[in-house]
Structure 1
Amino acid sequence: MRRALKSFLIGGCAAVLAGGSFAYASGGSGGMSGGGAGGMNMPSASGPRYDPATEYAKAIAAMKANQYKDAARAAEHVTDAVPKNPDAWQLLGAAKAGASDWKGSRHAYEKAMKLTPDDVRVHAGLGLALANLKDPKAQAEADWLKSKAQACADTCPDAARLKAFTEEVESAMQGAPAGAPKPSAMLDRSLLFGGAKTGDAAYEQAVSLINERRYDEALASLAKAAETFGPHPDILTYQGYTWRKKGDYARAESYYRQALAIDPKHIGATEYYGELKAARGDIAGARVMLARLDKLCAYGCADAEELRRWIDAGGDPQKN
């Protein structure tokens, strides 16, 4: 690797969870231009622009306070901003379930399922929603969880939660007793609410693992960070980088595009997306990303110079 990856996020995510706000947004300027009507945003294009990481933090805080409708409202802001982010849909599904909006929960988990079909949390959440809707398809989700639990045989890291998830879904299918706590809320409390320190530690560990080329372990750590902080562009950028190093260019591109949708001026995502384009042979596309970097780095930066090396080499310079 040409250089050690930088840990941009440490401390920053804690600020989000504490109520701070980053400078990036999902769209352009949120304010009104002072140059008269010619610079004014039209009403159709000047609605609220939400910071997905901040809204994700709001949703988690509301879940902690059992304010499920508020949590769902904030989570919907996240899914509107980054509709390809599975953690956002999973959180929305949990919030809708907490509010006993089982149809809404089912819809959110179905969206998450399309993005992460092997996520045990998503199968459990969808199973709970279907069970509470008296939908016989809940049995398929219970069977999927049970099969995974049996294959795990108490030896894999997911053993305990697979067993718990299976019991939750089967209990819901049988009809949970009146007054019982909402299972989806308990499910997500244990998985999503580790706090800023836990998320920062997972992110820092992921950066170290990437530098050691331990990519599968790095992805697992990045997933833990994402559960805490939601769709943060730094996390998304490194998820894209790691999938690219694993050779999955399509998945890498998805993460880069998510990061740039949140923060169009993110230098790391811009550089790495350009490198991905160069690796694919799309030199023209890489030059577009380089032009953006040259504007972002008015006085030059290592990121732009590195991407320029890739372009000059017609792809990965380390392979030539």
Structure 2
Amino acid sequence: MGSIRVLLLAGVIAGFAGGAALAAGSGGGGGMSLPSESGPSYDPAEEYAKALAALDARDFKAAARSAQRVTDAVPQNLDGWKLLGAAQTGAENWKGARRAYERAVKIAPDDLNARGGLGMALARLKDPKARDQLDWLKARSASCGAGCNAELLRSLTAELERALAEPTAPSARLDQPLILADAGDAAYLDAVSLINEGRYEVALARLDAARAAFGPHPDVLTYQGFAHRKLGRFEVAEGFYRQALAAAPDHRGALEYYGELKVERGDLVGARRMLARLERACTYGCAEAETLRSWIDAGGGPER
């Protein structure tokens, strides 16, 4: 995880320096606070990296613990749920794996690993619904066209067929591929260049690769929101901005772009709320707040 932060601190990506890690809360004594306000909290991107490292070391209990912290912090993050499912699969906690993959499928019904992971967990639990997932994978294979990952579909289908035929046999694979941080950085920088060229669809594919490496990193999530917004997918964009702010509530890029989205949707009251949060985050002022203020004053803004 350090490499992406080094790049950001070096100024490679302008305007995104506002993403801050969530600090652990202080304990009791000396002040009046609710337990939910003073309990420990975690940086979900760091916990994601810990979970990947623990999976690689086959410490599935530690992997599940860190992955659970990711999903607690950013409940709508697909990669966090898939990572938790992979950890529970490794630990042979099939009920836990089923719950994690069910959430992943709910978030992204077309995600191949989520479908395969859910089918595996159901097969291990001897639940007949596992066959529904196998049928889904086979149907997807039959209609597999351009851009379809036929190799992954074949692998998932074969693994699930084996699990259904012999539910107690050990699994031959984990469903969450381990991705090196350096590869994630390269995907991230590729995506930034593509966004600057206005090639948003291609950029989104590279951002998916970066997110798989880094988990719910607010910089990646913010750029995903930005690209979807430029493609007119406002609801999808809003979901990514919300995830970014769940990971880092004072992230300046996410606050600015979410505010701009609200202006574009005619929600000036909501945009002013984002501006107020930006002003609290920028003690001495910042370009993000000034840009959002100009959008609000104009009722819109220039193409970015």
Please report the TM-score for the alignment, with normalisation by the length of structure 2: 0.89
Residues 218 and 244 of structure 2 are in contact (CA less than 8 Å); yes or no, is this contact kept in structure 1?
A: yes
Percent identical: 54
Match of 2:225 in 1: 240
Residues 14 and 197 of structure 1 are in contact (CA less than 8 Å); yes or no, is this contact kept in structure 2?
A: no
Please report the TM-score for the alignment, with normalisation by the length of structure 1: 0.85
Match of 2:15 in 1: none
- Once the 2 structures are TM-superposed, how far is the Cα of residue 152 of structure 1 from its aligned partner? 2.0
Match of 1:231 in 2: 216
- Equivalent position amino acid for 1:158 in 2: N
Which of the residues 74, 82, 91 maps onto 2:66? 74
1:24 aligns with 2:21: yes
Match of 1:135 in 2: 127
- Equivalent position amino acid for 1:103 in 2: K
1:79 and 1:284 map into 2 onto residues whose CA distance is 30
Give CA deviations for 1:290-320 in whole Å, capped at 9, x if unaligned: 222233333433222221221122123459x
2:266 and 2:167 map into 1 onto residues whose CA distance is 56
1:11 aligns with 2:4: yes
Larger mean CA deviation between 94-103 and 291-300 belongs to 291-300
Residues 233 and 266 of structure 1 are in contact (CA less than 8 Å); yes or no, is this contact kept in structure 2?
A: yes
- Equivalent position amino acid for 2:172 in 1: P
Match of 2:290 in 1: 305
Which of the residues 161, 180, 187 maps onto 1:202? 187
Give CA deviations for 1:180-199 in whole Å, capped at 9, x if unaligned: 4x3342x32xx2x1211011
Cα 1:13–1:41 shift into 2, 3 Å: farther
Larger mean CA deviation between 293-302 and 272-281 belongs to 293-302
Give CA deviations for 1:196-223 in whole Å, capped at 9, x if unaligned: 1011011111111111222221111111
Cα 1:136–1:145 shift into 2, 3 Å: same
1:215 aligns with 2:200: yes
Map 1:1-320; keep pairs closer than 5 Å: 11-12=4-5, 23-25=20-22, 30-31=25-26, 37=30, 39-152=31-144, 156-175=147-166, 178=169, 180=170, 182-185=171-174, 187-188=175-176, 191=177, 193-318=178-303
Cα 1:44–1:119 shift into 2, 3 Å: closer
Residues 89 and 112 of structure 1 are in contact (CA less than 8 Å); yes or no, is this contact kept in structure 2?
A: yes
Give CA deviations for 1:8-27 in whole Å, capped at 9, x if unaligned: x9632899xxxxxx8421xx
1:10 and 1:245 map into 2 onto residues whose CA distance is 28
Larger mean CA deviation between 248-257 and 111-120 belongs to 248-257
Is there any run of 5+ residues in structure 1 with no aligned partner, and where?
1-8, 16-21
2:54 and 2:90 map into 1 onto residues whose CA distance is 11
Aligned residues: 293
- Once the 2 structures are TM-superposed, how far is the Cα of residue 176 of structure 1 from its aligned partner? 5.7
1:286 and 1:126 map into 2 onto residues whose CA distance is 39
Residues 32 and 41 of structure 1 are in contact (CA less than 8 Å); yes or no, is this contact kept in structure 2?
A: no
Is there any run of 5+ residues in structure 2 with no aligned partner, and where?
9-18
Residues 127 and 141 of structure 1 are in contact (CA less than 8 Å); yes or no, is this contact kept in structure 2?
A: yes
Cα 1:13–1:116 shift into 2, 3 Å: farther
Residues 88 and 230 of structure 1 are in contact (CA less than 8 Å); yes or no, is this contact kept in structure 2?
A: yes
- Equivalent position amino acid for 1:199 in 2: G
Cα 1:314–1:156 shift into 2, 3 Å: closer
Give CA deviations for 1:63-87 in whole Å, capped at 9, x if unaligned: 1011111111111111111111111
- The runs of at least 4 aligned residues of structure 1 exceeding 4 Å deviation read none
2:143 is paired with a residue whose SS is: helix
- Once the 2 structures are TM-superposed, how far is the Cα of residue 134 of structure 1 from its aligned partner? 1.2
